[in-house]
Structure 1
Amino acid sequence: MATRKITFVRDSMLPPQPAPQASGNSAAWVRANLLATPKDVVMTLLALALLAYMLPGMINWLFIEASWFGSDRSVCATIAQGGIQPNGWHGACWAFVEDRFAQFVFGRYPLEERWRVLLTLALFVALLIPVLMPKAPRKGLNALLLFVVFPVVAFFLLHGGFGLSEVETPLWGGLMVTLILSFVGIAVSLPLGILLALGRRSKMPVIKTICVVFIEVIRGVPLITVLFMANVMLPLFLPTGWTIDNFLRALVGVALFASAYMAEVIRGGLQAIPKGQTEGAESLGLSYWQTIRLIILPQAIKLVIPGIVNTFIGLFKDTSLVSIIGMFDLLGIVQLNFRDSAWIAPAVPITGLVFAGFMFWIFCFGMSRYSAFMERHLDTGHKR
């Protein structure tokens, strides 16, 4: 019986091929991203021309002609304005930032008690880093310490108690207030937003109605209104003689406001999960809460990481609105110092705003980069 020849199987090796052109160096990246098409070339040249026009003046104002040290406005004003700088001088007044930096960070917190703020910050960083590291052991214990134990310890450290002198919240301010409001808002809004999202998808009419009304009412008004209501209206619902600290009112208002937006972000992730996931969990005998905790939520949260971080970034920037109830965050304390007669100079306001904007950008950019890192780390569904 004759054997049939298999024609699609090679009986000889292919000849050696030249090595592929390197694509990981900087020149290849420039060709692929900046010079790939004539349109890219034109846009790249326009961008370079714009940078060449703007950068020299910015560098000159920010660094070269800037005033770095001093104790009053004279170092940031020209001779005609009563200062020591030449009449043609134009530069940033970093001396203002250097002189008031401690106030920008601590507000009016007593000088001799600021070690308590630094200790609280050190504890926060020490507990936060393991939580952010994907491969760190004992995540549950770290989360418990950060979100349950740490707030209690921080309260007694910052406010007073157990032998420490009391520091009233009106003395708090600056970056410290911004970080506290952001941390509490983030720590409360995520779990509360998850509960609101689950409640809005609930089949129980009362629970669903309460969640829908809360979300739509909070999302329908600006944060300034929420803070004003928390500051003015909340005490009216308390028994006679009871009062709530202004800073606590701000914490409640910020947390509730962020929770409503977080609920909609989480709900979007829940709706993106196929119904088969729930049916599969039910077929295995899992209860509702086991299905949500073990199957649905991990997938939903992974899908909406960009939306969650976007809400966190918006919350961090919105903390500047607490000035309406008499609290001064980083931006508020910077603006407050513009009125100081010792630093009234033309370059002071713009320098202070540049500093505040840069500080906000550092934290927001850090959250954005960590979000991108977590997306790459959790993107296991499409790997080959």
Structure 2
Amino acid sequence: MSTHQFQPDLPPPSNSVGVVGWMKKNLFSTPINSIVSIILGYLAFLLISQTISWAFINADWIGTTRDDCTSAGACWVFISVRWEQFMYGFYPEAELWRPRLFYATLAIFIAALMYEKTPKRTWIWLFFVNIYPFMIAALLYGGVFGLEVVETHKWGGLLVTLIIALVGIVVSLPIGVMLALGRRSEMPIIRSMCTVYIEVWRGVPLITVLFMASVMLPLFLSEGMQTDKLIRALVGVVLFSAAYMAEVVRGGLQAIPSGQYEAADALGLSYWKKMRLIILPQALKITIPSIVNTFIGLFKDTSLVLIIGMFDVLGIGQSANTDPEWLGFSIESYVFVALVFWVFCFGMSRYSIWLENKLHTGHKR
């Protein structure tokens, strides 16, 4: 009795797999889809080609005055002339080494913390969160070790944007975690206080919070006591962001199965050990996308400090657009500012995706 031998499978048709197969399935599956795809593709080609021509091919890159912008493309000379203002605001030129040192050390710390094999990462993180901010504050403001004092009203551009975003992100997360735990507390007073705080701060826009921090807060201080405008803005942003962060973390806590809580109680763990070792690690892992989304929103909301007289990178761009010598180049200014925001927000988004995949333990859908 002869045994049947199966022949090897034939490869699928070349027009049903790969890029060609995807296009046939999604773009040219029916005559109507084909027509619409061709029209939209042609319009996209025109838009992309004109954008590339304006931004790169016909653009002016070298020069010092508007007279050097002679082509029909973008005038990036405007950005190069205003580069230091976009980066540092009105920081004294002789002291620019201080914010440059801040940028360099910040990049080093972020790279070291993101690299998994960095030795002593935990200690680096503790130093970055607890000591580094005070060192940078002393470096940028001065008044110590012979450094010239540079008032915060001279700070601006990307410098202010990064400071507000970093402080808001680093400080609002632990406050938000505590508020989320407090809102789920079994003690009525703690639960009520946290609930009122969260609902009040989530019920007002950030613009109102910044106005209150800048204008109303000094009225509640004792006579003769003054608070720096940047510090007031930081306090307002942190308190506002913490309320939203609390709701994000609370959603993660509610997503944890009750069996995890019961298992922790069965082990005899105290409340704080249970939260620190079992519940919070799982809740924070689940809420990574929402947490990063809140961080991205916070980073973009830093542009609102313009309304209280602080010039972040967007405020510097708008200020530069009013310069009589450079009128008519506002498009370049807004494109550059948008690119700055996009680079940082896209970087946070990609790191969030990488972190999700790294911590993936089989619960991802």
Would you call these one fold, judging by a TM-score over 0.5?
yes
Among candidates 141, 146, 152, match of residue 128 of structure 2: 146
Q: Are the structure 2 counterparts of residues 133 and 12 from structure 1 closer, same or farther at C-alpha, using a change threshold of 3 Å?
A: farther
Q: Deviations over 1:316-373 (max 9, x none)?
A: 11100001111100000011011112212x2x10110011001111111111111111
Q: Are the structure 2 counterparts of residues 163 and 73 from structure 1 closer, same or farther at C-alpha, using a change threshold of 3 Å?
A: same
Distance 1:150 1:21 in 2: 58
Query: What residue in structure 1 maps to residue 100 of structure 2?
Result: 118
Q: Are the structure 2 counterparts of residues 32 and 262 from structure 1 closer, same or farther at C-alpha, using a change threshold of 3 Å?
A: farther
Tell me the amino acid that sits aligned with residue 369 of structure 1: R
Is 1:191 aligned with 2:174?
yes
Q: Structure 1 stretch 253-262 or stretch 37-46: which is displaced more?
A: 37-46
Query: What residue in structure 2 maps to residue 233 of structure 1?
Result: 216
Q: Are the structure 2 counterparts of residues 150 and 14 from structure 1 closer, same or farther at C-alpha, using a change threshold of 3 Å?
A: farther
Distance 2:34 2:132 in 1: 53
Among candidates 285, 289, 296, match of residue 272 of structure 2: 289
Is 1:251 aligned with 2:240?
no
Tell me the amino acid that sits aligned with residue 55 of structure 2: L
Give the alignment's Cα RMSD to 1 decimal. Answer: 2.3
Q: CA deviation at 1:130?
A: 2.5
Query: What residue in structure 2 maps to residue 136 of structure 1?
Result: 118
Distance 1:318 1:22 in 2: 51
The secondary structure found in structure 2 opposite 1:224 is helix
The answer to whether the 8 A contact 1:34-1:41 is kept is no
Query: What residue in structure 1 maps to residue 350 of structure 2?
Result: 369
Query: What residue in structure 2 maps to residue 268 of structure 1?
Result: 251
Q: CA deviation at 1:75?
A: 3.1
Q: CA deviation at 1:31?
A: 4.0
Among candidates 190, 193, 205, match of residue 207 of structure 1: 190
The answer to whether the 8 A contact 1:127-1:145 is kept is no
Q: CA deviation at 1:131?
A: 2.0
Q: Deviations over 1:174-209 (max 9, x none)?
A: 011111111000001111110111111111111111
Q: Are the structure 2 counterparts of residues 292 and 60 from structure 1 closer, same or farther at C-alpha, using a change threshold of 3 Å?
A: same
Tell me the amino acid that sits aligned with residue 35 of structure 1: K
Q: Deviations over 1:236-276 (max 9, x none)?
A: 12111111000101111111111111111111111000111
Q: Are the structure 2 counterparts of residues 29 and 306 from structure 1 closer, same or farther at C-alpha, using a change threshold of 3 Å?
A: farther
Distance 1:291 1:44 in 2: 55
Larger radius of gyration: 1
Distance 2:55 2:209 in 1: 38
The answer to whether the 8 A contact 1:105-1:173 is kept is yes
The secondary structure found in structure 1 opposite 2:91 is coil
Among candidates 54, 57, 73, match of residue 61 of structure 1: 54
Distance 1:303 1:142 in 2: 25
Written as runs of structure 1 = structure 2, the 5 A alignment for 1:1-384 is 15=6, 17-18=8-9, 28-31=17-20, 33-37=22-26, 38=29, 44-76=37-69, 85=70, 90-160=72-142, 161-344=144-327, 346=328, 348-382=329-363
Q: Are the structure 2 counterparts of residues 29 and 225 from structure 1 closer, same or farther at C-alpha, using a change threshold of 3 Å?
A: farther
Distance 2:3 2:241 in 1: 67
Q: CA deviation at 1:60?
A: 1.8
Q: Are the structure 2 counterparts of residues 292 and 68 from structure 1 closer, same or farther at C-alpha, using a change threshold of 3 Å?
A: same
Runs of 5+ unmatched residues, structure 2: none
Q: CA deviation at 1:57?
A: 1.5
Q: Are the structure 2 counterparts of residues 304 and 14 from structure 1 closer, same or farther at C-alpha, using a change threshold of 3 Å?
A: farther
Q: Deviations over 1:156-185 (max 9, x none)?
A: 110112221111100000011111111000
Query: What residue in structure 2 maps to residue 6 of structure 1?
Result: none
Q: Deviations over 1:140-160 (max 9, x none)?
A: 202111111110110111011
Q: CA deviation at 1:59?
A: 1.6
Distance 2:352 2:17 in 1: 28
Distance 1:226 1:131 in 2: 32
The answer to whether the 8 A contact 1:231-1:249 is kept is yes
The secondary structure found in structure 1 opposite 2:123 is helix
Runs of 5+ unmatched residues, structure 1: 1-10, 77-84
The answer to whether the 8 A contact 1:197-1:267 is kept is yes
Distance 1:29 1:371 in 2: 28
The answer to whether the 8 A contact 1:128-1:146 is kept is no
Q: Structure 1 stretch 252-261 or stretch 133-142: which is displaced more?
A: 133-142
Q: CA deviation at 1:32?
A: 5.3
Q: Are the structure 2 counterparts of residues 287 and 109 from structure 1 closer, same or farther at C-alpha, using a change threshold of 3 Å?
A: same
The secondary structure found in structure 1 opposite 2:131 is helix
Q: Are the structure 2 counterparts of residues 19 and 166 from structure 1 closer, same or farther at C-alpha, using a change threshold of 3 Å?
A: farther
The answer to whether the 8 A contact 1:124-1:146 is kept is no
